[in-house]
Chains A and B, each alone.
Chain A
Amino acid sequence: AQSVSQHNHHVILSEAASLELGCNYSYGGTVNLFWYVQYPGQHLQLLLKYFSGDPLVKGIKGFEAEFIKSKFSFNLRKPSVQWSDTAEYFCAVRSYNTDKLIFGTGTRLQVFP
């Protein structure tokens, strides 16, 4: 069955620190990959997505993610975090076969000034 793993459950950083959140999925076929962010009290927002082409994807607010097919990974990165990046981050995978979007368990990021 399709599954998504986010190994970092809770990350605490100081402003200007670099960020990398891990995401691994288990599915052998063609997939679309997503990172969503949920700010406190708000709904999900799409940060970035990968469908095909350049495996390095740039999203909003300075985030980027790299799809490494051989490692079944789609890690999220940001060179310098800000206090306003404090939120819950979800990795999600959609397979071509099922069309379902399966979410990881989420990573809570706290950024302190």
Chain B
Amino acid sequence: GAVVSQHPSWVICKSGTSVKIECRSLDFQATTMFWYRQFPKQSLMLMATSNEGSKATYEQGVEKDKFLINHASLTLSTLTVTSAHPEDSSFYICSARDGGQGRGSFGSGTRLTVV
């Protein structure tokens, strides 16, 4: 149980373009989803918390206009990296949590490379 699917697993894009990453909870309803970023040889840093049907809460230092988060349903949250730059190249991981059961799990991550 508590399976989270993240897509795509890797993406290469040109500077200035936008990239959308999807995070789906497959066997539970995720009232809350979290988006993390992991730079090489570093820990995971929480970027934002999204709750279904409301605006995401961003951590300090994370640009909300650059990293657009949409949590339109209880099983899907999307992260869009807008006008991507090489410094946005990173490993992005989502986590979904079932508020009722307390279960949570991580997606497999998306490796973004901006060239």
Contact = CB atoms under 8 A, between A and B. Distances in A.
B28 interface: no
A37 to B, nearest CB: 11
B107 A43 contact: yes
Contact of B44 (A46, A51, A103): A103
Contacts, number: 35
Interface string A9-48: 0000000000000000000000000001000000110100
B67 interface: no
A68 interface: no
Contact of A44 (B32, B45, B93): B93
Interface residues of B, number: 19
A46 B43 CA distance: 15
Interface string A88-113: 00100000000111111110000000
Q: Is chain B's interface secondary structure helix, strand, loop, or mixed overall?
A: strand
Range class of the A interface residue count: 10 to 19
Given A43-B109, A44-B93, A102 B46 contact: yes
Contacts of B104: 101
Interface of B: 32, 34, 36, 42-46, 49, 93, 95, 97, 102, 104-109
26 contacts: A36-B106, A43-B106, A43-B107, A43-B108, A43-B109, A44-B44, A44-B93, A44-B106, A44-B109, A90-B43, A90-B44, A99-B32, A99-B49, A100-B34, A100-B46, A101-B34, A101-B46, A101-B95, A102-B46, A103-B36, A103-B44, A103-B45, A103-B46, A105-B42, A105-B43, A106-B42
